[in-house]
Structure 1
Amino acid sequence: MKLPSPVQWIEVQRKRGHELCLMLDTFDQKPVLKALLNGRAHDRYSSLYSQTPIAELASIGPFLIVLDSGDTQPLTELLNSPERHWGWLVSIAAQDFAALVQHWRERILVGQRPDQGIYRFHDNRVLGRALPFLSPEALPAYMGPAISLCYWQGEHWLSADNPTPGQHPLPEQPQWLQVPLPPEQRARIRETNAHRFLLAHHQVAYLQLAEHRDPFAWLRQQREKAEGWGWHAPRQLELLLASSLSTPEFEMPVQWHPRPYEEPSEHFERVYQDAKLLQGKGAA
């Protein structure tokens, strides 16, 4: 449903006795996060990546925060700048915060090892593409304990109501993972995930790169190179990035470029084994 203002949605949810929560993408919102967590009881917020296989990214991952009456200033700041894509709002029953945290933790990782990826449900653009795509039968498994959602669509605010709020099992083939992505959006998501991977695992080398190159332009070039090679899995892009950062020129050595008639999987395995061997020699 189209909303004239998110304030209207907030007022309706509170009148109905629902608790309001903020799904916050903390990556570019550290001051807001600090303001919201200051003095807040530990059971009123949660870092969603903690207690998951990607717990090392918890400090830069999304937070789910129960909003109180004293949160007017930081909340107003967010509502006045939806173009910053900071996340979205959700209403729940008073006792359902822990259930909502668990619900989204079960939906963070997609795919199978070793090619798992992160599902960026905290991004309002991801949410905004999924909700119209889902059938009414698939909505409860996606929204879980959420009673209603409020999010910025890109041009206006929208709300979505859950027909049956509660705890629902994760489907074997979630419908929301079948939403087609525009190529440019898919590219941006890969670059954002790559940026966060490098900050978490190769921060020193990445900062050295930033002294000589525009890191985002470099990431785009490396992502385009990986796609040109047929390297589409997250671990393949991560290998290209890590190998490139280890050289003075910040580019993968020429001997690791694809050979004529070499299949992408064969190319990746060759580079992976060579890099593993070099790493072992460096540690010796």
Structure 2
Amino acid sequence: MSQSFVLHWLIEQHRADRLLCLVLDSQNERDMRQRWLKSSRYEQYASVYGETVVAELADTGPFLFTFDQPDDRRLDALLDRPDSHWGWLASLGKGELKPWVRHWQERLLVGARPHQALYRFHDSRVLARALEHLPVEALPAYLGPAISVCYWQGSQWQSTDNPAPGTCPLPDSPPWLHLPMPEEPAMEIRLANAHRFLLAEHVQAYAGLACAQDPHIWLRERLAQAQAWGWLAPERLEFLLIQSLHTQALAPHWQPRPDETPDEHFDRVYQLSRSWSGEMPS
């Protein structure tokens, strides 16, 4: 995993008098984030989720850090393990950090209430897939003020230049939201969105569960169950999460019957649950 490509890209951007920027996944790189926070000036970093409707997730959301030198030693530990999906690198014009933060804040939430989801732009796999499929004319609306980006593309480093860096309005139907998603990052996105949903809508019960077991392990098990049953549609997944949160073990009737389709399975369980909770006549 040679770092020469990244170092060459960093030197080129620095020589062009551009601001170097690290996009860091704070959820999985908490120690690294703290190291950068302690060694950065206030104007050199920003939390993307801060001061947004998902501010309660700021501690686990992405952080953007600018740095001055292409040979910054703080990068070494990250460049040594590019396949750990810690994030990616970008270059900006001087003074463009705040506009770039606003750019991503405008693109954070996907979908309409109550089924909104978070767009994980800071995941190198999400970025790489978008840049692989987007036409050149769609790049300015996607990358905004970023002049160039450097990221891990599965097996090698790659860079992409923005043909028209600057502030761009969010398209009515962003093309990057209509790309097929590989299963691994799709599961991480579902996990983040399920965590956010339970924090926002069922925080007391979720906190009680967290006292007894690791909530992320519990969420992964629930999501695996939803996937096995074909219940990944937002309303079905929410139903499974809520019911599981308030019940130690799901009753036997929750299991699918032989030759039962996912639609038939969900409708049967949903109607039985409503009936037993008194929401409809039995």
TM range (shorter): 0.7 to 0.9
Residue 75 of structure 2 corresponds to which residue in structure 1?
Answer: 75
SS of the equivalent of 1:180 reads coil
| Letter aligned with residue 213 of structure 2 | L
Q: CA distance change for structure 1 residues 255 and 171 in 2, over 3 Å: closer, same or farther?
A: same
Q: 1:265 to 1:168 in 2, by over 3 A?
A: farther
In structure 2, the CA distance between the partners of 1:271 and 1:136, relative to structure 1 (3 Å rule), is: farther
CA distance in 2: counterparts of 1:159 and 1:70, whole angstroms:
15
Cα 1:215–1:18 change in 2 (3 A) is closer
> 2:26 maps to which residue?
26
Residue 73 and residue 56 in structure 1: after superposition, are their counterparts in 2 closer, same or farther (change >3 A)? Answer: same
User: Whole-Å Cα distance in 2 between the matches of residues 258 and 236 of structure 1?
Assistant: 14
Give yes or no for contact 2:10–2:70 (8 Å, CA) kept in 1: no
Deviation at 1:31, TM superposition (A): 1.3
Q: Match for residue 247 of structure 1?
A: 247
Match of 2:124 in 1: 124
Return 111-120 or 41-50, whichever deviates more: 41-50
Counterparts of 2:272 and 2:47, CA distance in 1: 36
The Cα shift of 1:127 comes to 0.3
Q: CA deviation at 1:237?
A: 2.4
Is the CA contact (8 Å cut-off) linking 2:7 and 2:70 kept in structure 1?
A: no
Amino acid in structure 2 at the alignment position of 1:177 = L
Task: Give ranges in structure 1 of 5+ residues lacking alignment.
Answer: 279-284
Tell me which residue corresponds to 1:205: 209
Give the drift of 1:240.
2.1
- Give the Å deviation of 1:87: 0.2
Do the aligned partners of 2:52 and 2:105 also contact (CA within 8 Å) in 1?
yes
- Tell me how far apart the structure 2 counterparts of residues 139 and 155 of structure 1 sit (CA, whole Å): 23
Q: Which moved more, 1:78-87 or 1:193-202?
A: 193-202
CA RMSD of aligned residues (A): 3.3
Please show how residues 178-217 of structure 1 align to structure 2 within 5 Å. 178-194=178-194, 201=203, 202-210=206-214, 216=217
State how far apart, in whole Å, the 2-side matches of 1:244 and 1:264 are: 16
Residue 106 of structure 1 is matched in structure 2 by 106
* Whole-angstrom CA distance in 2 between matches of 1:52 and 1:276: 36
Residues 92-128 of structure 1 show CA distances to partners (whole Å, capped at 9, x for unaligned) of 0002111100000111111111111111100000000
Report what 1:95 is aligned to: 95
Structure 1 Cα separation of the partners of residues 277 and 12 of structure 2: 57
Q: What TM-score, normalized to structure 1?
A: 0.81
Stretch moving more, 134-143 or 226-235: 226-235
- Could you tell me how far 1:234 is from its partner in structure 2? 4.0
Give the aligned partner of residue 37 of structure 1: 37
Instruction: For residue 78 of structure 1, give the secondary structure of its aligned residue in structure 2.
Output: helix
Shift of 1:231: 3.2
| Aligned partner of residue 27 in structure 2, secondary structure | helix
Instruction: Decide which moves more: 171-180 or 183-192.
Output: 183-192
TM-score, L = length of structure 2: 0.82
Match of 1:282 in 2: none
The percent identity for this pair of structures is: 43
Match of 1:137 in 2: 137
Where does structure 1 differ by over 3 angstroms across 4 or more consecutive aligned residues?
Answer: 68-71, 191-201, 218-221, 227-231, 233-236, 251-278
Taking structure 1 as reference, are residues 268 and 176 closer, same or farther at Cα in structure 2, changes over 3 Å only?
farther
Separation of aligned partners in 2, 1:165 and 1:187: 31
**What CA deviation, in whole Å up to 9, does each residue of 1:253-278 have, x standing for no partner?**
45677898976886697689789989
* Aligned partner letter, 2:250: M
Shift in Å, 1:133: 0.4
Which residue identity is paired with 1:252?
L
Distance 1:44 1:267, change over 3 A: farther
Between the two proteins, the alignment pairs up a number of residues equal to: 271
Q: Which runs of 5+ in 2 are unaligned?
A: none
Distance 2:94 2:276 in 1: 52
SS of residue paired to 2:136: coil
Q: Deviations over 1:178-215 (max 9, x none)?
A: 111234543343235435666784244135134xxx95
